[in-house]
Structure formats: C-alpha cells, structure tokens
Amino acid sequence: MIDAHAHLTDARFARDREAVLSRADAAGVTRILAVGEDLSSSEAAVALARSSPLVRAAVGIHPHRANAFDEDSLPRLRELAGDEHVVAVGEIGIDLSGRSAPRAAQERAFAAQLALAAELGLPVSVHVRDAGAIVRGLIDGVKIACGYVHCYSEGPDEVGEWLARGFLVSFAGTVTYPRSDDLRRAAALVPRDRLLVETDAPVLGPQAHRGQRNEPAFITATYARLAEVRAVDVAELARDVRENAASLFGPRW
C-alpha cells in the first residue's frame, strides 16, 4: 500500500516520527509522499525523504499559507525540486472555505507554482475547497505534467471534470465516514488507473480512528472501505494504486 499524501513534518509528529514510520512499514505501507505546506515544511520533507527510504517529498506552498509566497519563494522551491527525492509540486491550490488566505494571494501563488511544475515536468498535488471551477480554469491555462486532486471532496458530479484533464483522484479517510455516501459514489466512478489513496495525516483519520491523530499506518482502513465500494479485493486495489503512483510520480518515486 502507498500513502499518496501525508504531512509527516507536522509538529504533531515531532516526538515519535520514527515510530510512526515504523508502524507504517509494519502495516504494509511501502511508500509515503510527504507534502510541503510552506518553505520550511518543504525543506523538512526533503530532509525526511533523504533519511528514510519509505518517504518521497513534494514541495510547495499551501493556499492557507499563500500570504507567505513572495519573490524569494519560487527560486527556493525550484532549488528544492531539483533534489532526487522530490516527485511533485504540492500541496498547492485554492481554498474558498473562508479559512484560507485572501483569494488574490491564493491565485497568485497557485498560478506561479503551476508554472513551476510545468517548467520542471513535475506533477502537482492540488488542494481544492469550494473552488473547483476556478482551480480547473487556472490549470487549463498551463501545460502541466499532470497531477492529482488530494483528499477529494467534490462529490460524484465533479469527477469527470478532473478525469477529462488527465488528473488522478485521491481519497482519504473521509470516505469511511457514515455520512460520506456522495464521496463513496465518487470513488466508485474513478477508473482503476486514475485512483490514489492517502491519509492526509495527521488529520482526517478513518472512522475507526476518528478524532485521533491520524498516521500512515491507519490507511489500511481506507483501503478496506474503498475495496468494498469498488467491489474488488484489497490486494488488487493496492496493486492498482501502487502502479498509478509509480506512473504519476515517475522514476524518482
């Protein structure tokens, strides 16, 4: 199993990060993508990937942190992305839920990082909240190498919009929640070669761990629920997701 999106450099892992990785390994997780939220966490993700064979890194500035994006950000991200352990630009995107930076700052940071990903030939890890049409409009203007929608939450009606753009769709522990019927319907629509699975750790633990600090080892519950939804066995689902990640992230993965 792979975890396509986790915030392993989050402070909530500071005391036991090595134990978290050990538990993931014991649970059958073979690769984790540690994503950046700003320059410091991107740097930390690269350092972690250098030190652990289980981890690869994505570097980027999250829409929540878009106010911190300035003229020095892009050169530093470009430098970090040159590391052999970096496989994507992310987490980037737009969040209009009211919890993020001003929209203008988000759009500026997102557009610049999409252009960087296109320049470097790297896929993107995209955060979308209440902004699907806006995000897709900006993506349509840039010839990026592709990417995935992380922690998909838009429901079944939007799946086709992402598939039409060549994107993969990634599901987190939210797909296991009792009231997530629309999300499960969306998961059933994604072709087997366009699906990813993630934790988004340390948040959004699957139902059995809801309210706890989430960690990559818990992803087994999400795989199990998705396998039920898609009427396949877990081993088949895990194989498909592993192959999808390898295809998306390329030889560095």
pLDDT at position 183: 97
pLDDT at position 14: 97
Domain positions in the chain: 2-252
For range 44-71, the mean pLDDT: 97
pLDDT at position 99: 84
pLDDT at position 145: 83
Q: What is the CATH number of domain 2-252?
A: 3.20.20.140
Q: Mean pLDDT, the chain, as a whole number?
A: 97
**Does 220 score more than 90 pLDDT?**
yes
pLDDT at position 143: 84
pLDDT digits (tens, 9 = 90+) for 145-163: 899 999 999 889 999 999 9
Nearest 5°: phi and psi at 97?
Answer: -75, -5
**Does 41 score more than 90 pLDDT?**
yes
For range 174-199, the mean pLDDT: 98
Which residues make beta-bridge pairs with 189? none
Measured distance CA(90)–CA(12) in Å, rounded: 20
pLDDT at position 112: 97
Residue type, 240: D
- 18, 54, 124, 216 from 22: Cα distances, Å: 6, 9, 27, 10
For range 85-106, the mean pLDDT: 95
pLDDT at position 196: 98
% the chain with pLDDT above 70? 100
Contact 34, 56 (CB under 8 A): yes
For range 20-43, the mean pLDDT: 98
**Does 181 score more than 90 pLDDT?**
yes
The DSSP line for 113-180 is: HHHHHHHHT--EEEEEES-HHHHHHHHHTS----EEESS--S-GGGHHHHHHTT-EEEE-GGGGSTT-
**Does 3 score more than 90 pLDDT?**
yes
pLDDT digits (tens, 9 = 90+) for 97-144: 988 999 999 999 999 999 999 999 999 999 999 999 999 999 999 988
Neighbour-count burial of 225, counting CB atoms closer than 10 A to its CB (0-12 exposed, 13-18 middle, 19+ buried): buried
